[in-house]
Amino acid sequence: MWFLSSALCVLALGRRAHSTQQILSDANNGVTLPQTWEVLGPFAMGARELGVDPLSAYGGFEAIPFSESDTYPSELADGGLVKWRTVETNSDQSVGPVDFDNVRWSFNQDPFGWTSLHHATYFRGNFTVPRSGVFLVNFDHVVSYKIDDKAYVGNVYGFSHASGTAIYLERGVHKIYVCAVMDVRIFGGQVPPKTVFTGKFQPVDLDTSARNILIMNDDTVTPELVDGKLATPYFSLTVMNAYVPNPFSSVHLSKTKSSGSNSGRIGEVLENANDIADLAVGLHEGSDIGWVQILDLSAAIPVIFSLKLAPGQLYPLPIDVDFDLEEKNGAVLTSIHFQVQFYDLYTKERFTVKSAEFTLEKRVWGEPYKLTFLDYDNSVHYAMALPPKKPCSVVGEANCPIVLALHGAGVEASSPFWTEAYKQQDYAWILFPTGRTPWGFDWHGPSNMNVDAAIHTLTHLHGVPQELRGNFGINPDKLIYTGHSNGGQGAWWMSSHYPDRALAAIPASGYLKIQFYTPYYMRLGDAYTDPVFRAIMESSIAENDIDMYAANMAGVPILARTGGNDDNVPPMNTRRIVRLVNEWNRNPNSIHLSEVSAQGHWFTGIMNDDILQSFLDEHLDPLNNPGWQHPPLPEAFTISTLNPGSTGSKGGIRILQLEVPFRLATIRVHRVEQHWVLNTTNVRRFGFLKDDRAHISSWEIDGMAFAEPPKIGPSYLKIDGETEWKPVPDLLWISEERYWSTYGPAMQILNHPFIIVVPSQPTVISAATYYRNAQLIATSWYIYGRGGTQIIRDVDVRDGIAAKYHLIVLGGPKDNAFTRRRETEGGAKMVKFLESGGYQIDTKKYEAEGTGMLFLAPSPTRTLMGMYITGIDELGFKRAVWTIPFRTGLMVPDYVVVGDEYGDPATGWTAGDGNPFGGAGTKGSGGVFAAGYWGNL
């Protein structure tokens, strides 16, 4: 065995490694789910709806006593009432499905469709912990769950990589609450809907040499061998700092410190339980209790400060293994395991933790193989690649095009089901990206960035034998977008948002937008809001509406596929997009619509039959398309966007700023030979990108003529209130104004590496509360995006950090030193913090108890941004935290202010019972006090 330079990992070259150090107890310690659950439901719930709770008007589920006679209103049930019932936990520790005998699901579905199947059911029960300690708790297929008075994020998609949350549980009886939300996109449209969830409590033994570190051996990403050689060097090893003490036990805290002058009883020094709780999580006045540092990083972790894990934090550790290790040691690499050195920042001790041994998959050149790579947030992800049958060089081309194959929801990209769904092409690579997880982000945002990272990795020709690399090069800007189901929607989305890279597109069984898959029209919060407010909220997800972007696909060759009997994504989705693009092309037959009669959502040959292959040959066969040329631009075309942050160029033109953010902006282009005429709507700034197709001798915009060709790179600006356009020769404006990478909405915070900033000396809300919510954010990012982030203190934020990372900053200026600094610098000038602890936007003040706010603001360098999450009190702060949109379809603009009529948006129950003077408990979007978008400055 050989150690890498830092003793970070050990390679097993044809031999068996040491056994894995286990700190998860094999016994369950008698902790199981409640045998009997009290259940109330079902209640109507809108798709991806936040902050609504139909039981809050009656005191909230946690407070309502069980009764065999009491009933509660629900429009889903006959007679409009539902009653309490009890259900037993199944033998496999699953719960459900529940049979609601007074709900006629099919009858409801006839007029209202799938949206009538969406519902929430409340479960609660007691479970017993025989011995106090830390447990790794995991609940699958629920958005979140609540133990006693604290809520935790659940593994709603049932991802295999999600490892749960480390929770300290005292000996005795505990309450658990689950709001199981039926989501058709996750559970399917079966009638009756069958909601089933599972839960598991796994004790963690902290009395081993591994201390409080868990290595999640099932959560790894490993590369593969191609012809005996490591294709790519990147591994991902997920580690968890499972230090989660009893926050009210001073004895436990004193024992975590090694013997010495500071080993006295901490509880004798501190005056109250809140101080003890803050110290327990290592956030009280810079305390390092429970924090660990990973030492001597030879791994590829491009951070500008040491990697530290906060108590309870999960992190997918990227590891870069030496490519030439086999040759240096004269051995064959067949398996690998790691040992990681840690440093306890409190006890000042070093220790080592070992992983399991991982066998490496062997591939032969010409088969699909795995590429592992560092994604944009420095976490390791993978894509599958299928090389061409023939060298592209034999037809005189140095670089091959790429067929981008986007999988459907719940499909693992490495599954043979998917990698064998396409025929190997003669002169094109097929790339099968993950989108970060089997569900991803509908190929938007982080998923789209994952695709770009996969394409970039492919250009380095990892896995290609050295002697063949000159024959199988990559052209990353010659793509055929294709995919099935959610991936078909992704192919439509990429074709409409990045059309200049498209050779062609083959979307199969793809939906038009999320609201066409599971409609939003039965959202409960809409009953409490007006149409203008609903439009503001919906604008935050409208950038993904393919119909609104259909103009961008004009001129792109498209083969649209659907089964004539598809009851999952009905063919009207495909037909509608086809009609729209044909209209923009002014040609009723410009798109090839392949609707296969009597076939459903998936059928044999949908991605590889003669119809599809014939279309591919039109664009990939060098005899049909020499040089793999992009399709010609139409003589007239339109560029549309709602958000420059998620839209590329069309005809080499890219919209960079809007006059009114999040209103539709368009540039209509008419080409008369070498003269281009541009007319704009709601465009403030745009630019020309280098594009070989854009041969322009003269041009004009909105009637203003330019005798010279446009400049490539600089922008053209129309100053607010003026009519003339002027060229801007430099990029200095991006340090003073919002531009494509700093536009919102809130979900854009996930599109760049981010760090969570917690207060070190808060005065309004306890440090323990800030820490727990920072941990919740980090866990959510790992579950939903398999992403890694770090938690740092406000006093540790330097300009270099703020210049490299987005920041999620927890706490207002009274608590968080970084917020206080940015307020002094004017960095969050759109929000004024009041002495009362409230906020002011424009002339409106928000000062009521239970109010919280989430908003975007520029970073100190203005090239990145921060998300600030504050609360007048703990309740308001938690409301705002749960509003972070970690899933697609959640409507959160640039800023949102929530209060006592906005429920706990993740769990579905209410933190309190709403404002009694409001009369209707918590109202979802109807409980939002303010929401909207910032301008360009």
Cis peptide before 130 (omega within 30 of 0): no
Confidence at residue 6, expressed as pLDDT on a 0 to 100 scale: 29
Averaged pLDDT, 620-646 = 94
State residue 422 phi and psi, 5-degree precision: -115, 145
Contacts of 768 (CB under 8 A, 6+ apart): 247, 274, 277, 278, 280, 281, 283
When comparing pLDDT for 68 and 919, which is higher?
Answer: 68
Distance linking the first and last C-alpha atoms of the chain: 58
927, part of any domain: no
For residue 617, give the 3-state DSSP assignment: helix
Confidence at residue 13, expressed as pLDDT on a 0 to 100 scale: 30
Confidence at residue 435, expressed as pLDDT on a 0 to 100 scale: 98
**d(C-alpha 130, C-alpha 856), whole Å:** 45
Q: Of the residues 314, 333, 362, which one is the last residue of a structural domain?
A: 362
Tokens of 167: 């929770």
Averaged pLDDT, 121-149 = 93
296, part of any domain: yes
State residue 265 phi and psi, 5-degree precision: -70, 115
Domain count, the chain: 5
pLDDT surpasses 50 at 263: no
Q: Of the residues 567, 599, 628, which one is the last residue of a structural domain?
A: 628
The string of DSSP letters for 24-55 reads B-SS-TT----SEEEEEEEEE--TT--SEETT
Choice among 265-274, 474-483, 580-589 with the minimum mean pLDDT: 265-274
599, part of any domain: yes
* Of 413, 489, 512, 514, nearest in space to 183 by CA: 514
When comparing pLDDT for 22 and 559, which is higher?
Answer: 559
636, part of any domain: no
- 356 and 379, same domain (yes or no): no
**d(C-alpha 221, C-alpha 929), whole Å:** 43
Which letter does DSSP use for residue 614 in this model? Answer: H
Tokens of 425: 């092409």
pTM: 0.92
What is the residue range of 667's domain? Answer: 644-735
Choice among 43-57, 250-264, 348-362 with the minimum mean pLDDT: 250-264
Tokens of 780: 């959510």
- Cβ–Cβ under 8 Å, residues 379 and 236: yes
Q: State pLDDT tens for residues 855-877.
A: 999 888 888 999 999 999 998 99
Rounded to 10 deg, the angle between the 767-785 and 273-280 helix axes is: 40
Confidence at residue 11, expressed as pLDDT on a 0 to 100 scale: 34
Give percent of the chain with pLDDT exceeding 90: 66
State residue 560 phi and psi, 5-degree precision: -100, 125
**d(C-alpha 547, C-alpha 527), whole Å:** 26
Which CATH number goes with the domain that contains 286?
2.60.40
Q: State pLDDT tens for residues 635-664.
A: 999 999 999 999 999 999 999 999 999 999
* Of 613, 578, 178, nearest in space to 389 by CA: 613
Q: State pLDDT tens for residues 150-199.
A: 889 999 999 988 878 999 999 999 999 998 989 888 888 899 998 899 99
- 807 and 861, same domain (yes or no): yes
- 449 and 585, same domain (yes or no): yes
Which pLDDT band, with edges at 50, 70 and 90, does 339 fall under? confident
For residue 445, give the 3-state DSSP assignment: helix
- 570 and 713, same domain (yes or no): no
Contacts of 787 (CB under 8 A, 6+ apart): 316, 375, 377, 379, 436, 446, 750, 781
911, part of any domain: no
Which pLDDT band, with edges at 50, 70 and 90, does 8 fall under? very low
Which letter does DSSP use for residue 581 in this model? Answer: H
Confidence at residue 537, expressed as pLDDT on a 0 to 100 scale: 96
When comparing pLDDT for 819 and 6, which is higher?
Answer: 819
Confidence at residue 702, expressed as pLDDT on a 0 to 100 scale: 96
- 18 and 102, same domain (yes or no): no
- 622 and 680, same domain (yes or no): no
- Cβ–Cβ under 8 Å, residues 480 and 503: yes
Q: Of the residues 694, 711, 735, which one is the last residue of a structural domain?
A: 735
Q: State pLDDT tens for residues 389-419.
A: 999 988 877 799 999 999 999 999 999 999 9
- 753 and 816, same domain (yes or no): yes
